[in-house]
């Protein structure tokens, strides 16, 4: 069989690890490499590609629990495959690696479906825009001032009208340094570019209120995870005390997680690689709309492009430096950023991306 009537015949996983140029860190974690677990699915002479930024162990989870669910299924029925994967992993827990594993398969299946139909994925989802606004994101606490300045200048050169840096250094123990770095970025970008900060849950509620007041004075527009995103009451307290928008949601694995967060946020963040793929991200966008909120795509810029283009209530997608560097190393067809927007590939079937043959140098298994 070929074309839309084909069944999924094979699923392959692989693990790629790309080292960062130096050890990087935010307020509450440091790392020295980025791992992508990829999934390829075949049907009707076409191959769909998906991936997650996750632990290498997620590949084993996919092989053991999800490959058998995907094989033999109708590739047109991606929500059905998604539901079957969620049911098959009930005893593993819905969040974390399970959700990241389902995401890689779900994204591969959507890509496969669009390729079988010969359509861009944006057309399959319904296209609300032909370019996706991004914000430059990185600004690690581990950078020197010169490195921070140079990174921010790179985003301005790419036309970004919004930039985000990490604060909450050393679990909120360096507040003066946080403010110095934020002031530096404000000075580099001038008055017309939005400055955003992300504390990665590094502050206490009291600290976040005090720091939020200072960020307000610096014209910061976005205060991400001022406190742990598990602390809903704390997020609500901070939100009522500051003028800048409070955002969170990057760890949400489901619409149920997102529903708990929406009442205490000004913008919902969702990550296609952590919320079980395109299927749940689109539902999350609808949920945000029902709360009168916009949605922002967290990290994985190239993967967010097709869904971000499809939802009217999109604010932006995070052009995260680690992923912006990794994606063109591993994949062909990554949408370029020009004028502060990801430019969608016109007319290419699926999301338009393929594994690069020379990505093998980063392959771990
Ligand atoms: Mg964040």
Q: What is the pLDDT of residue 119?
A: 97
Instruction: Please tell me the distance between residue 12's alpha carbon and the centre of ligand 1 in angstroms.
Output: 30
Backbone φ and ψ for 36, nearest 5 degrees, come out as -115, 125
Low-confidence residues of the chain, pLDDT below 70?
1-4
Instruction: Please tell me the distance between residue 184's alpha carbon and the centre of ligand 1 in angstroms.
Output: 20
Do 52 and 191 fall into the same domain? no
CATH code where residue 136 lies: 3.20.20.120
Q: What is the pLDDT of residue 346?
A: 79
Instruction: Please tell me the distance between residue 164's alpha carbon and the centre of ligand 1 in angstroms.
Output: 10
Describe the strand order of the beta sheet including 46-53 as a list of residue ranges.
Answer: 10-25, 30-43, 46-53
Do 114 and 127 fall into the same domain? no
CATH code where residue 86 lies: 3.30.390.10
Do 66 and 154 fall into the same domain? no
Do 135 and 112 fall into the same domain? no
Do 48 and 72 fall into the same domain? yes
Do 302 and 189 fall into the same domain? yes
Q: What is the pLDDT of residue 241?
A: 98
Do 292 and 191 fall into the same domain? yes
Instruction: Please tell me the distance between residue 153's alpha carbon and the centre of ligand 1 in angstroms.
Output: 21
Q: What is the pLDDT of residue 20?
A: 97
- Exposure string of 288-304, with b = 16+ CB inside 10 Å and e = fewer, is beeeebbbbbbbbbbbb
Do 96 and 234 fall into the same domain? no
Q: What is the pLDDT of residue 239?
A: 98
Q: How far apart are CA 348 and CA 352, in angstroms?
A: 5
Domain region containing 91? 3-118+357-362
- Could you tell me what percentage of the chain is helix, strand and coil, using 3-state DSSP and rounding each to the nearest 5? 45, 25, 30
Do 253 and 317 fall into the same domain? yes
Q: List 38's β-bridge partners, or say none.
A: 14, 51
Number of folded domains that form the chain: 2
Do 10 and 130 fall into the same domain? no
Q: What is the pLDDT of residue 3?
A: 56
Handedness of CA 12, 13, 14, 19 (dihedral sign): positive
Instruction: Please tell me the distance between residue 317's alpha carbon and the centre of ligand 1 in angstroms.
Output: 12
Q: What is the pLDDT of residue 5?
A: 74
Do 104 and 207 fall into the same domain? no
Do 108 and 139 fall into the same domain? no
């Amino acid at each position: 069989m070929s074309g839309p009537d084909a069944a999924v015949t094979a699923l392959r996983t692989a693990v790629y690890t790309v080292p960062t140029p130096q050890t990087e860190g935010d307020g509450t974690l440091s790392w020295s490499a980025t791992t992508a677990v990829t999934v390829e699915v075949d049907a009707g002479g076409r191959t769909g590609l998906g991936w997650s930024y996750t632990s290498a162990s997620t590949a084993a989870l996919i092989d053991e629990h999800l490959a058998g669910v995907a094989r033999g299924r109708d590739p047109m029925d991606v929500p059905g495959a998604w539901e079957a994967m969620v049911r098959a992993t009930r005893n593993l827990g819905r969040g974390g690696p399970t959700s990241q594993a389902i995401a890689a398969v779900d994204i591969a299946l959507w890509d496969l479906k669009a390729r079988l139909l010969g359509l861009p994925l944006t057309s399959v989802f319904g296209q609300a825009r032909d370019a996706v606004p991004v914000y430059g994101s990185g600004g690690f606490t581990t950078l020197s001032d010169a490195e921070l300045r140079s990174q921010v200048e790179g985003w301005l050169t790419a036309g970004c009208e919004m930039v985000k840096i990490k604060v909450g250094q050393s679990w909120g123990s360096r507040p003066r340094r946080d403010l110095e770095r934020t002031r530096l970025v404000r000075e580099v970008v001038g008055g017309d570019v939005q400055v955003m900060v992300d504390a990665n849950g590094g502050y206490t509620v009291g600290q976040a209120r005090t720091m939020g007041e200072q960020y307000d004075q610096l014209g910061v527009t976005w205060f991400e995870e001022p406190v742990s995103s598990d602390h809903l009451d704390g997020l609500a307290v901070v939100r009522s005390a500051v003028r800048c928008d409070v955002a969170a949601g990057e760890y949400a694995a489901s619409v149920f997680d997102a529903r708990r967060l929406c009442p205490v946020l000004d913008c919902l963040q969702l990550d296609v690689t952590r919320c079980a793929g395109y299927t749940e991200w689109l539902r999350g966008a609808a949920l945000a709309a029902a709360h009168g909120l916009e949605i922002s795509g967290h990290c994985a810029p190239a993967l967010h492009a097709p869904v971000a283009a499809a939802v009217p209530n999109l604010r932006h997608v995070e052009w995260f430096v680690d992923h912006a560097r990794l994606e063109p190393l591993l994949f062909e067809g990554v949408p370029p950023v020009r004028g502060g927007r990801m430019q969608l590939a016109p007319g290419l079937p699926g999301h338009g991306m393929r594994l690069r043959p020379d990505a093998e140098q980063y392959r771990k298994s």
